[in-house]
């Protein structure tokens, strides 16, 4: 297939030369295309692998170059481009989430006589400090005790916690966290459903010092570490036992080493969120006389308070810049809940497909299995990605979409994102604004490239079956350098 496309490209060049004398611009295009073909077909990085490349004019949408552009490939996190566009189109840039406290009892003097329900509506940015603020608000309302239980209501979404193709080996990683309508993040990057484990050196030949944030007894730390001399390397592994919140830290840490931090996804983020609320209430001096459990709030319950999230256009920054898988999957379920009253992957992906059709996309060419791109079964064509990026430019939400993409070579994380340490020199630095993607044996990058003359190109580079995905990223940058120095 690749050879056929290459031959067709060369044939088109031959037709130009035989029918008419090529212009200077056409001649430059021929040289650029020839260089790209040589690079893609001859670079040893692609030995045994397959690449799809699409280059399109940002001004008129014309496909200027296609190498396997119509071959379906695994896009990795480039799939998030479709999730983000569909979310903006179907939910709107100003869409936000509510997390609420209700009671089925009555408030008398300083006491809530009944149960308190914390109700999640899919906020992917709810932080520990937000829950602490909710507890503080209750205190300011004069509440000093709760006679009943505190109950977590996560029924806004279904109870399926993992997307269909998530590898079992990823379930403890921050990027493989369980999906719940009620989940909490320990940090400003909104890594929902995780705790932060910190390992610091102890005294020589003694155990390392372990800590967890938030400070919670929801997880149990098992310390199997040893502090070693400064001339020995730190070799640590941090893992969680399947189905439990028992986190094992083992290995060695050098005596003078800096603390090591690791984000670990918890088992059951709903109960985790509830434990954070219980701790926050205690810190505010509010006594809970009942127990912690899950359940749906009664229809006639009374709202005590509400926390509103930042709008979607702001959520897109950590989502796309940092390639946050949990945000992607929660957005899929939210689209299903809002438009089909069904907070499931099946309903959400159906809404996404219908939204993409409304944007002029041919979804029959796509296989969409999740929102994040973590599935190796997802399949997209490079030409379809550049088509989406072209058509998105005419939408009112495009500024939010474009601003969410990582910018090459910019060190600030909320700008450079996953490209902050890549393409740090001109002509690519700041001129590549794109979404990256990485899976085992897969590397991808798609976005916008500003040329030296100020014109913009849209590009997509998908590589599958790589022996080394990091090497694939080097080839991506070689390809983009060739394009950047052209005047296509």
Where do the domains of the chain lie, and which CATH numbers do they carry? Answer: 2-93+313-484 (3.40.710.10), 98-160+268-309 (3.50.80.20), 199-261 (no CATH)
Residue from 35, 29, 5, 39 nearest 463 by CA: 39
Exposure string over 94-105, b if 16+ CB within 10 A, otherwise e: ebbbebbbbbbb
Kindly name the residue from 54, 66, 72, 80 that is annotated as catalytic: 80
In the structure encoding, which two tokens stand for residue 87, read together? 């979310």
Under the banding of pLDDT at 50, 70 and 90, the label for residue 418 is very high
Per-residue model confidence (pLDDT) at position 25: 53
Are the C-beta atoms of residues 241 and 216 closer than 8 Å to each other? no
Under the banding of pLDDT at 50, 70 and 90, the label for residue 32 is confident
C-alpha 378/C-alpha 72 separation (Å) is: 9
pLDDT at 30 over 90: no
Tens digit of each residue's pLDDT (9 = 90 or more) over 71-116: 999 999 999 999 999 999 999 999 999 999 999 999 998 999 999 9
Per-residue model confidence (pLDDT) at position 21: 40
C-alpha 209/C-alpha 186 separation (Å) is: 20
Per-residue model confidence (pLDDT) at position 31: 79
Q: Look at 7-11, 96-100, 174-178, 273-277 and tell me which has the smallest mean pLDDT.
A: 7-11
pLDDT at 170 over 60: yes
Compute the C-alpha angle 387/388/389, nearest 5°. 90
pLDDT exceeding 90 applies to what percent of the chain?
A: 91
Per-residue model confidence (pLDDT) at position 28: 60
Average pLDDT for 275-285: 97
C-alpha 252/C-alpha 169 separation (Å) is: 23
Residue from 401, 395, 412 nearest 446 by CA: 401
Per-residue model confidence (pLDDT) at position 33: 84
Average pLDDT for 463-472: 96
Average pLDDT, the chain: 93
Residue from 214, 266, 269, 264 nearest 239 by CA: 264
Residue from 269, 168, 259 nearest 210 by CA: 259
Under the banding of pLDDT at 50, 70 and 90, the label for residue 339 is very high
Beta strand extents in 243-316 (DSSP E only): 246-254, 260-265, 287-288, 292-294, 302-308
Tens digit of each residue's pLDDT (9 = 90 or more) over 364-410: 999 999 999 999 999 999 999 999 999 999 999 999 999 999 999 99
Tens digit of each residue's pLDDT (9 = 90 or more) over 150-169: 999 999 999 999 999 999 99
C-alpha 252/C-alpha 233 separation (Å) is: 8
Per-residue model confidence (pLDDT) at position 486: 73
Per-residue model confidence (pLDDT) at position 485: 81
Kindly name the residue from 66, 77, 372, 446 that is annotated as catalytic: 77
Q: What is the DSSP string of 381-399?
A: EHHHHHHHHHHHTTSTTHH
Residue from 361, 307, 258 nearest 122 by CA: 307
pLDDT at 41 over 60: yes
Annotated catalytic, 12?
no
pLDDT at 8 over 70: no
Residue 98: CB partners within 8 Å, gap ≥ 6?
121, 123, 306, 307, 308, 309
Are the C-beta atoms of residues 74 and 462 closer than 8 Å to each other? yes
Kindly name the residue from 275, 323, 400, 446 that is annotated as catalytic: 323
Residue from 187, 204, 208, 175 nearest 80 by CA: 175
Under the banding of pLDDT at 50, 70 and 90, the label for residue 7 is very low
Tens digit of each residue's pLDDT (9 = 90 or more) over 175-195: 999 999 999 999 999 999 999
pLDDT at 26 over 60: no
Average pLDDT for 411-415: 97
Annotated catalytic, 77?
yes
Q: What is the DSSP string of 121-175?
A: ---TT-BHHHHHHHHHHHHHTT--EESS-EEEE-TTS-S--S-TT--GGGTTBGG
């Amino acid at each position: 297939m690749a050879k056929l496309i290459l031959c067709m490209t060369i044939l088109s060049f031959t037709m130009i030369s035989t029918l008419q004398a090529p212009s200077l611009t056409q001649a430059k295009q021929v040289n650029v295309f020839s260089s790209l073909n040589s690079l893609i077909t001859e670079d040893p990085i692609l030995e045994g692998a397959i690449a799809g490349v699409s280059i399109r004019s940002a001004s008129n949408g014309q496909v200027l170059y296609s190498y396997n552009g119509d071959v379906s490939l695994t896009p990795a996190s480039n799939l998030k481009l479709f999730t983000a566009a569909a979310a903006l189109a179907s939910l709107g840039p100003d869409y936000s989430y509510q997390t609420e406290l209700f009671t089925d009892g009555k408030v008398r003097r300083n006491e809530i006589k009944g149960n308190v329900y914390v109700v999640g509506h899919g906020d992917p940015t709810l932080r520990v400090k937000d829950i602490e603020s909710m507890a503080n608000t209750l205190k300011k309302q004069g509440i000093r005790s709760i006679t009943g239980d505190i109950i977590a209501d996560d029924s806004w979404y279904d109870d399926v916690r993992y997307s269909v193709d998530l590898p079992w080996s990823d379930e403890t990683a921050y990027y493989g966290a369980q999906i719940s309508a009620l989940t909490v993040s320990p940090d400003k990057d909104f890594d929902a459903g995780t705790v932060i484990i910190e390992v610091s050196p102890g005294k020589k030949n003694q155990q390392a010092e372990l800590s967890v944030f938030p400070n919670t007894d929801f997880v149990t730390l098992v310390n199997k570490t040893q502090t070693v001399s400064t001339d020995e390397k730190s070799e640590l592994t941090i893992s969680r036992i399947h189905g439990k919140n028992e986190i094992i830290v083992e290995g060695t840490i050098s005596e003078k080493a800096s603390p090591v931090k690791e984000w670990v996804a918890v088992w059951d983020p709903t109960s985790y969120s509830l434990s954070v609320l219980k701790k926050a209430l205690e810190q505010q001096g509010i006594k809970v006389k009942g127990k912690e459990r899950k359940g749906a709030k009664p229809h006639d319950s009374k709202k005590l308070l509400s926390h509103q999230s930042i709008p979607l256009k702001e959520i897109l920054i950590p989502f796309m810049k940092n390639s946050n898988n949990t945000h992607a999957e929660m957005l899929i379920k939210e689209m299903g809940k809002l438009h089909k009253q069904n907070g499931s992957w099946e309903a959400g992906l159906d809404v996404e497909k219908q939204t993409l059709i409304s944007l002029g996309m041919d979804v029959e060419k796509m296989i969409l299995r999740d929102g994040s791109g973590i599935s190796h079964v997802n399949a997209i064509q490079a030409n379809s990605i550049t088509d989406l990026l072209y058509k998105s430019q005419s939408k009112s939400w495009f500024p939010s979409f474009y601003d969410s993409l990582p910018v090459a070579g910019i060190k600030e994380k909320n700008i450079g994102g996953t490209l902050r340490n890549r393409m740090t020199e001109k002509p690519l630095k700041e001129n590549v604004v794109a979404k990256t993607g990485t899976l085992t044996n897969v590397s991808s990058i798609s976005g916008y490239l500003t040329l030296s003359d100020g014109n913009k190109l849209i590009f997509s580079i998908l590589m599958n079956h790589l022996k080394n995905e990091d090497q694939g990223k080097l080839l991506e940058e070689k390809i983009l350098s060739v394009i950047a120095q052209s005047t296509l």
